[in-house]
Structure 1
């Protein structure tokens, strides 16, 4: 493993004339990939070449690429014919992972409309807020979401297409299946402006109202190309690992269990598979035993998930047996991983192509990435900044901190959102002169690897000493018997704030408070040891993207 060898591979991939050629504009705007698609229609249409290959598997449904595109074209034709859908109008999707979600996404963009993927885990007021805030004039949803929103949709008579509807549908609804069975209608060929909005994705606010991040066609096209670059770089820099996969003879198949309304599900799994001709196994919802059944039966080769999902997968006695023999790629995202998860991953599957990345909804998931041999070298980091990304650390991007110094992470790239929808003040706070204030804290080491150490909003101020909640959590997750952890501020009459810590585990195996404090005291400074530990036997509450809902947790614990 040599940094020089990796840097050489990197330079070859982005050189003039290379597939991932990077252009540096003279006017100081961000670098970009010369050969990225012009707009999202090009991204979507790229998958049409895969023809009769199997593309989607979900429960008893199986679709080839041709069958998928037939449904996309039919739905797009119906949305224009029935609803007069115009370019630039917003169309929302609210349903759990299933093929109709992916058909709807492509059909909406095919009409030149703006896709608004809603959090299907959201409660009625969250869904209703996003529908109203985005001004969506059409909704595609499943029966469960129709039941949740029925009163609101009826009051507003919002045109709704229902997937797998049960019983008689309200008068403002049409059946998705009935629309697809109609004869195909033609869809006009559109000339898309790359800077026009393609998508509004609501951020998973763990505390405040979710904000709609508006992404242009150009931003998503550059993001998808950055993901392709990372795959190519991983293959070039880890030839032995890639050789094992190629020689296995298994067809590339991704097990997709993260929600499609999140950038990691939408960009890194769906759009990457669509363009690359990979098979997608969709899970309706995460269940570790069901996941292993699918890996075994469908010979899945790749799984990407939040660290808590990976932890459950690695802990299963069936993992690492013949049942997961086809699984060569394991990707982590969503939050920091504990050292034990990383160690287990590399110990149980030494040939694995492990990977992780760092990005936000506001950056279309793009920031830094790491995979293959690099991941073995520095598994606890998020890797190098992707070639079109600038990363600076500090209170402002104009005065970056030197290597090794922690501070706020700023990102600049062509993948950044244009703005928050209808929120000029919040947009101006987050986007400054082309730089995104991520709200995350981290540092770059002397080899350029990025480490994430916490969130600005999750710093606990104990008598003037700033403590990262993530650092305390990462530490205690290495303790046997602790499955999940969340650190947060609790009131202290003398110091203002002190560290509170909730830990989840199984009844017989979860350590006592004194043992937990002693474990942390051996590894971290004394002022970082929790003042109070809450032992919790139920899994910690999380939002759809896997982030712990700390405000809800503090309330339930009376902290």
Structure 2
């Protein structure tokens, strides 16, 4: 009966005349939402209707929607008139989460330029690569990033707008103060008719093992992605009415605590742009800190938190989580990596009335793939949910010859949200996009009820003497062991087997390697038991989206063993 309700809600939402009506081309091909914004600037402007409601909270700053859009228009006028920014030009943003980031993004889109968010966690080489690779003609950065790039920017004379510049240090000739530009007399902004297929965004992939690639997306792809995310919210509400009523009756204003970086789809699309369009408050964190997060949830009445599994684990582990400090928290979402069954069970147990959720998507798909939330999340928390209604999923080495349900293999996606290609990398683009299908590099399967389940990464398979071992399976197993806080499995060279399984562990209590190996041996096949176990007292190295940097672990271990 419950599943029938889910299917009924789904069919109702995508039916003709619905805001989420799905169009299936007569000759086959990619399905799409009929009613989406024509371009990203138009999608952003939908937030103007929220007027004097509070939108952004960050440290001492508070902005209403009206105040936010006033800053957007002022900056867009400066970009257009003072900097002569033209449609198609690339503009980079390099700063930590703060209101100026969100203002800059919208202003760039108003000018029809291509936004290039750079990894604010990145060191000099990574930032310089993004600037050079994208051919950015303008940079908006905070003072911390300016100090890292001072010599490089000066050598190139790259036009730079600095947020929060150090008042004690005069800016170079090629730099201007962000605050001064906003305070100047407003300048006109041209009205542009942007082509939906024009480029809008270059997001750099995480780059855990190699130089990051620029993922180029069109206005159409991003607007379809936003509608897909809004569909999932509507479906969750319609299919889990009892959970939604608890939130509505709580009296708390919808407020998202945002701790994930804006230079990633989970922050940019699923949190910033969705909140802007829906009229939700955003409470920004400059960087993740679990105690500060709990303070903000308590003080600002945050109702929603989405984060990487390691962030959620830290939140749940705090003694404060069970108390009044999280009374307002009704929504908890996971993304950016696989979650252990222990974490999923803890979420459901600790907040049984909450709207839990997770999803599956890539930068190359603008974060769109499958999603799950509410009652469905409680039903199958380890799955990623049903593929969204404009997404086709096929499993196997060839998308034209898909494997049957329940059989694991390579995951292929087809949807209107896919990237146009990798920036200036035609060969890599052709290898990843094949006849409209995206090779995700992930492995998984569709179960008998249509839920997508992820089993690992193709590149995360350890070839132990011909036996393929999934790193994700080992990690999921050991993370269920009491005391284990985080773990990463990876390959190390072996003279006899080619590769052997290694495991890096950080635990809350003293655990020895043999105890860890015995725990895994009791649950997994003998060939999956790690040959080497490395115990860490400090957090495992991660990138900005929460993924463990296994290449860094491998390098450290190679130096240690040599």
TM-score by length of 2: 0.98
Of 515-524 and 328-337, deviating more is: 515-524
Q: What SS does the aligned partner of 1:214 have?
A: strand
Q: Supply the distance in 1 between the matched residues of 2:27 and 2:58 (Cα, whole angstroms).
A: 47
- In structure 1, the residue matched to 2:528 is 528
Aligned mates of 2:131, 2:245 — CA distance in 1:
47
1:158 CA drift (Å) = 0.1
1:228 match: 230
- Quote the residue 2:217 is aligned against: 215
Matches within 5 A, 1:369-388: 369-388=371-390
Is contact 1:75-1:179 (8 Å) kept?
yes
Alignment pair present for 1:272 and 2:277: no
The aligned runs of 1:20-169 (5 Å cut-off) are 20-166=20-166, 167-169=169-171
Cα separation, 2, equivalents of 1:489 and 1:44: 44
Q: Please give the alpha-carbon distance, in whole angstroms, between the structure 2 residues aligned to 1:91 and 1:434.
A: 28
Distance in 2 of aligned mates of 1:450 and 1:58: 37
Structure 2 match to 1:328:
330
User: What residue number does 1:183 align with?
Assistant: 185
Decide which of 200, 203, 217 is 1:201's aligned counterpart. 203
Matches within 5 A, 1:283-298: 283-298=285-300
Confirm or deny: 8 A CA contact 1:504 1:510 kept in the other structure: no
How far apart, CA to CA, are the structure 2 residues paired with 1:465 and 1:540? 27
Q: Deviations over 1:275-298 (max 9, x none)?
A: 000000000000000000000000
Distance 1:114 1:496 in 2: 45
CA distance in 2, matches of 1:168, 1:424: 43
2: distance between equivalents of 1:349 and 1:421? Answer: 43
Residues 227-277 of structure 1, C-alpha deviations (whole Å, 9 max, x = no match): 000000000100000010000010000000000000000000000000000
Pick from 298, 318, 321 the counterpart of residue 320 of structure 2. 318
SS at match of 2:333: strand
Q: CA deviation at 1:106?
A: 0.1
User: Residues of 2 paired with 1:29 and 1:173: CA distance?
Assistant: 48
SS at match of 1:83: coil
Q: Within 5 Å, which residues of 2 pair with 1:370-409?
A: 370-409=372-411
Deviation at 1:51, TM superposition (A): 0.4
Within a 5 Å distance, the mapping from 1:383-532 to structure 2 comes to 383-506=385-508, 509-532=509-532
Distance 2:494 2:161 in 1: 52
RMSD: 0.8
Residues 467, 528 of structure 1: 8 Å contact kept: yes
CA contact (8 A) 2:81 2:188 kept: no
How far apart, in 1, do the equivalents of 2:221 and 2:82 lie? 30
Q: 1:188-224, CA deviations, whole angstroms, 9 ceiling, x for partnerless residues? A: 1100100000000000110111000000000000000
CA shift, 1:300, in A, is 0.1
TM superposition shift of 1:433: 0.2
- 1:510 shift after superposition: 3.5
- Structure-1 separation of matches of 2:384 and 2:488: 21
Work out whether residues 52 and 65 of structure 1, in 8 Å CA contact, stay in contact via their aligned partners in 2. Answer: yes
Provide the C-alpha distance between the structure 2 equivalents of 1:132 and 1:386, rounded to a whole number of angstroms. 36
CA contact (8 A) 1:23 1:31 kept: yes
Q: What is the CA distance between 1:28 and its match in structure 2?
A: 2.8
2:4 aligned residue: 4
Q: Is the 8 A contact 1:482 1:510 kept in 2?
A: no
Shift of 1:320: 2.1
CA offset at residue 401 of structure 1? 0.7
Q: Structure 1 stretches of 5 or more lacking a match?
A: none
Distance 2:238 2:345 in 1: 24
1:362 maps to 364
CA–CA distance in 2 between the matches of 1:520 and 1:130? 41
- CA shift, 1:522, in A, is 1.2
Q: Is 1:19–2:51 an aligned residue pair?
A: no
Instruction: Tell me if structure 1 keeps the 8 A contact 2:432–2:438.
Output: yes
| Secondary structure of 2:499's aligned partner | strand
Answer yes or no: is the 8 Å Cα contact 1:488–1:499 preserved in 2: yes
CA contact (8 A) 1:255 1:283 kept: yes
Deviation per residue, 1:40-66 (Å, 9 max, x gap): 111110000000000000000000000
Distance 1:310 1:418 in 2: 33
1:28 & 1:137 partners in 2: Cα distance?
Answer: 41
Q: Which runs of 4+ in 1 moved over 6 A?
A: none
Name the structure 2 match of 1:538: 538
Q: Aligned with 2:522: secondary structure?
A: helix
Partner secondary structure for residue 136 of structure 1: coil
Q: Kindly tell me the number of residue pairs found equivalent between the two proteins.
A: 557
The SS at the match of 1:336 is: coil
Give me the TM-score of the superposition, normalised by structure 1: 0.99
Distance apart, 1:225 and its partner CA: 0.3
> 2:510, 2:457 → 1: CA distance?
27
CA contact (8 A) 1:541 1:548 kept: yes
